């Protein structure tokens, strides 16, 4: 079932700057794992079934390192405020609705349909504080065929009443129970520890969550240094911590053996960047969200030059689109404005660099994911770029660049494979 060959025009990143392209080539999948890309089919693979996508683009699946499932419904709405007031007036208001299982069922079906039909194959997701509803989301994601980490969110302070858990202890014990229930329940869907952010979690809760993460070997996701008011607030709440990241680190929620992804990292101090690097924390770069909420521009080029681990995030509903093609374009665009408006010594990101982040860079959070090199889990998306007519023939690289810039994913996705399973 999970062994086959795809034929078509294949492109994938091998390192931060190199995009390999192969015309009329064969990507071979055996038991859900990539054997490589070849110009002809070797004897040993001749018996495998072949999907013929000639003249279509075949790319690795893309990884979305940060998004909020309950916010999918209000993406593209009420974009006129900054983080802290936006959370109170929009995000929290919407998330409170998810105490209603019926509403959640409807909304999460729409979310999972959207994601399934996008170029994303792997994703890190925030749900809400509601445990049962989070399980429902995990069930739906499992049915979609995508691979995901899903977090029941923890919030026990500075939150509206209807989104504030009754105590840190209860929040932690609910989380532990939820982990026990879901850790081995699904093939492709896993729990992830998800303190919303420092301001909404008491010290006691953070301490408990750090312990749970280590005890069960569960990864961690949260938000880091997104907005200047937020950072000032964290400084007030954690006066002993030398940085926002250091506060997570104090509670064992910042890498160091526990796989961790932190969204945003727009305003990290130099020391914080060093800690991210030392602890091998992943940075989820969410350019659309950082612009929509007037947060600023994360200096991603600096991070990649320091060899930090970076991937892209759509961060719905701070970001408006679930498309990682759009996230690639946004990342390139804001890097140009960073260069022009903030620091001309920091060169803009190139297409190749950001395509790498969206595939192999972010894919690393999930293991050997995001490339067609031998040994990578087989995630692939087939794009029919003839939906974007052109007066003459183009190279594969140009066809890919154009497909990404012109959102060929809106109407051009012809097939999608995750871990060797065909899900579209």
Interface residues with its own copies (CB under 8 A)?
73, 75-77, 79-80, 103, 106-107, 110, 113, 288, 291-292, 294-297, 320-321, 329, 332-334, 336-337, 339-342, 348, 350-351, 389-392, 394, 398, 401-402, 404-407, 410-411
Count CB atoms within 10 A of the CB of residue 199: 18
* Cβ closest to its own copies, residue 167 vs residue 395: 395
Shortest distance in whole angstroms from residue 321 CB to its own copies: 7
Least distance from its own copies to the Cβ atom of residue 157, Å: 28
Quote the least distance from Cβ 96 to its own copies, whole Å.
Answer: 14
Closer residue to its own copies in complex, CB, 75/196: 75
Other beta carbons within 10 angstroms of residue 13's beta carbon come to 26
Cα 11 from Cα 181, distance rounded (Å): 39
What is the 3-class SS of 173-221, one letter each residue?
Answer: HHHHHHHHHHCCCCCCEEECEEECCHHHCCHHHHHHHHHHHHHHCCCEE
Question: Alpha carbon 199 to chain centroid distance?
Answer: 22
Distances (CA, A) of 185 to 139, 180, 225, 340, 389: 9, 9, 34, 49, 45
Phi and psi (nearest 5°) for 409? -70, -15
Q: Which is nearer to its own copies, 108 or 178 (by Cβ)?
A: 108
CA 314, 260, 153, 196 torsion-angle sign: negative
Cβ-based nearer residue to its own copies, 97 or 256:
97
- CB of residue 362 to its own copies, shortest distance in Å: 21
Instruction: List helix spans (H) across 306-406.
Output: 324-341, 351-356, 362-363, 396-405
Minimal distance, residue 342 CB to its own copies, in Å? 6
CA distance 323 to 114: 9
Closer residue to its own copies in complex, CB, 317/370 = 317
Residue 325 or residue 372: which is nearer to its own copies going by CB?
325
Nearest distance, CB of residue 112 and its own copies, angstroms: 12
Tokens 């919407």, residue? 94
**Of residues 113 and 217, the one with the C-beta less far from its own copies:** 113
Nearer to its own copies, 42 or 337 (CB): 337
Q: What are phi and psi of 414, to 5 degrees?
A: -105, -25
The neighbouring-strand residues paired with 21 are: 11
Q: Find where tokens 């946004």 sit.
A: 330
Q: Which residues of 129-167 are buried (b: 16+ CB within 10 A; e: fewer)?
A: bbbebbbbbbbbbbebbbbbbbbbbbbbbbbeeebbbee
Smallest gap from Cβ 28 to its own copies, in A, equals 31
CB of residue 316 to its own copies, shortest distance in Å: 10
């Amino acid at each position: 079932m999970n062994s086959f060959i795809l034929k078509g025009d294949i492109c994938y990143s091998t390192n931060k700057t190199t995009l390999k392209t192969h015309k009329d080539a064969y990507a071979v999948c055996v038991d859900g794992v990539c054997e490589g890309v070849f110009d002809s089919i070797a004897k040993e693979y001749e018996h495998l079934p072949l999907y013929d996508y000639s003249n279509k683009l075949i790319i690795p699946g893309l990884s979305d390192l940060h998004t909020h499932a309950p916010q999918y419904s209000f993406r593209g709405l009420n974009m006129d405020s900054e983080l802290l007031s936006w959370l109170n007036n929009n995000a929290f208001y919407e998330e409170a609705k998810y105490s209603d299982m019926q509403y959640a069922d409807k909304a999460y079906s729409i979310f999972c349909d959207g994601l399934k039909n996008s170029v994303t194959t792997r994703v890190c997701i925030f749900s809400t504080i509601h445990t049962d509803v989070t399980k429902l989301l995990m069930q739906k994601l499992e049915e979609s065929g995508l691979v995901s980490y899903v977090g029941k969110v923890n919030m026990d302070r500075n939150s509206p009443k209807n989104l504030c858990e009754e105590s840190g202890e209860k929040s932690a014990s609910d989380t532990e129970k939820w982990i026990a229930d879901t850790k081995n329940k699904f093939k492709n869907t896993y729990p992830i520890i998800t303190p919303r952010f420092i301001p909404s979690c008491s010290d006691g809760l953070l301490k408990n969550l750090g312990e749970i993460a280590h005890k069960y070997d569960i990864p961690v996701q949260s938000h880091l240094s997104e907005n200047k008011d937020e950072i000032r607030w964290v400084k007030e709440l954690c006066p002993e911590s030398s940085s926002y990241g250091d506060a997570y680190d104090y509670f064992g929620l910042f890498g160091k053996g526990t796989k961790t992804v932190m969204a945003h990292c727009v305003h990290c101090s130099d020391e914080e960047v060093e800690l991210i690097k030392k602890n091998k924390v992943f940075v989820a770069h969410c350019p659309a969200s950082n612009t929509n909420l007037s947060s600023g521009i994360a200096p991603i080029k600096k991070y990649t030059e320091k060899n930090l681990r970076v991937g892209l995030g759509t961060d719905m509903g701070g970001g408006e689109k679930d498309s990682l093609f759009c996230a690639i374009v946004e990342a390139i665009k804001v890097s140009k404005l960073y260069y022009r408006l903030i620091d001309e010594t920091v060169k803009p990101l190139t297409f190749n660099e950001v395509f790498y982040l969206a595939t192999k860079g972010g894919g690393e959070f999930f293991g050997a994911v995001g490339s067609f090199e031998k040994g990578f889990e087989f995630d692939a998306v087939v794009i029919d770029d003839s939906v974007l007519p052109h007066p003459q023939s183009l190279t594969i690289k140009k066809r890919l660049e154009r497909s990404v810039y012109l959102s060929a994913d809106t109407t051009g996705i012809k097939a999608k494979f995750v871990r060797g399973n065909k899900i579209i």
